[in-house]
Amino acid sequence: MVGYYDYLLAAIPVTGVVPIGASVVLGLPTMSGIVAGAVLSILLIGHGLFIRAPTDVGVAGGSQQQVTEQQHRQSTNVQTQYNSSASNGSPVAGD
């Protein structure tokens, strides 16, 4: 699955090369294309690091809310299993 950071990594070199090519085609000084490309690349890197920062949210990814909901469902399932086995007198796994 291609995600945000894959697109970001692909866009960084593109933003470095395209402004240089555009400056050559338009007859502008090459240095202006280099500066424009550098500024765009820095903005993309800054956005990827600080605005939409990577997080450790589970192995499969997802939002923090999705992970929290999944953990809640798992703990609810464990509690339900424990309550049902305790009420019918059967031993709980691990006893």
7 and 50 inside one domain: yes
Taking only the tens place, the pLDDT of each residue in 25-75 is 999 999 999 999 999 999 999 999 999 888 876 555 555 555 566 666 776
- Asked whether residue 94 is domain-assigned, the answer is no
| C-alpha pair distances (Å), 79 with each of 9, 28, 40, 66, 85 | 44, 69, 52, 20, 10
The reply to whether 66 and 48 lie within a common domain is no
The yes-or-no verdict on residue 2 having pLDDT over 70 is yes
pLDDT of 10 strictly over 60: yes
pLDDT band at 89 (very low <50, low <70, confident <90, very high): low
Domains held by the chain: number: 2
Given a contact cutoff of 8 angstroms between Cβ atoms, the answer to whether 24 and 5 are in contact is no
Helix (H) or strand (E) segment spanning residue 44: helix 30-46
Who's near 28: CB < 8 A, 6+ residues apart?
22
pLDDT at 13: 94
